[in-house]
Chains A and B, each alone.
Chain A
């Protein structure tokens, strides 16, 4: 098992933002996290990536407990993320954004950066090549020299995904990756995520578009008011009456 959560709990001012959450993510699988706005999905992302400390619970990646680690340590343990409200490095180029995302792929420290040792150059070339390839795969290579702030919104979202993948994480947390994308971009994205999955990268996906969720996810976790109300395969979730009640109201059916 790649990631295991159990009993994860966090309160904000007496109200449980997430309560007793526990599920697993297998290597190379896609878990979708769904639920109404305010259900605690993004809070859970913040907890997993170390931005918010949980009050209780275990978060174990590859057998290692990561509760209490700083976000950068969790990133080097193999978990990166994207943000629902974009957090791009706006005054850096598209390529530099991805190369900064590949920070963990090279080692050169502050002092060594003052010199141009052959090793440094090789490392730099490697990162540059990898980043250009990544941009090519996600359809942004033509814009590599633009500032990130110069991209249209949809492409900014794609860039953020590319940046999250640049460090070759074992697990990526994607917070509404398709929000604001046009149909063509959504297609590139879903195709890309599928390919990524075959390469063995696991994903947790927050997504509102049910069709995408049902197609892409191996398992689905449903949150409501910070509680986990269901967990299972897409087929199981579609048949779960409690989910239908909580999520869509009594009379409707999911997708």
Chain B
């Protein structure tokens, strides 16, 4: 019994780390541009599927990882220029609908290129599972934990210690002030989507070895990212990571101990619960954005 619980914990931590990365990209985009990007899950899927194709050419896994991250980062930037940039000044709702449209198109594109088959990727490192306290820990999980760590450190480093990072942070609080200091908000929005694409792809390539990848899994992954972000208050970077991990553990335990069909229902109930009954933090965040 104890081993089973530990096993579920490991699975939950792994799953949760993926949600954390997606939540981190959502929170960053939201903080910087005010846009909730519903196409984020599609970046994850396209990253994973690209990696599948690249890996098929015999490229080493490390190169596969880097190339698909770069390609999806470019895709993110390109889509920002083609859509978000052109619609700048539109209402929040319009922006949301645009990202939904993007997600629909990207899913169609994935279907066109990769079809409805399920794919998987080889693990980053060879070797069997480690056994910890009687439960197996997949080495891929370690890579995923590391990715969360690197992402989080990277974000803190960027926002805390670089000129551009500080500029972005300042622009969130005071857009006019930012403009006066020569900070271009359009560039910032562009960079946010480049980062969202790259990080999404990194998450996608990392989960390839432990889950089946299909063209249509992006939407639900994106929504899970929102749940994680909402738990943390939607604009809080640290909160998003904690939210993601909590959600992963909850899902793992509920599908292991109750029923796997209800896994998604649990995250929806959490999202509704957080939105409806913890509105203080959430509404606070909205006010801040409007100023």
Direct contact of A and B (CB under 8 A): no
Binding site for A on B (CB under 8 A): none
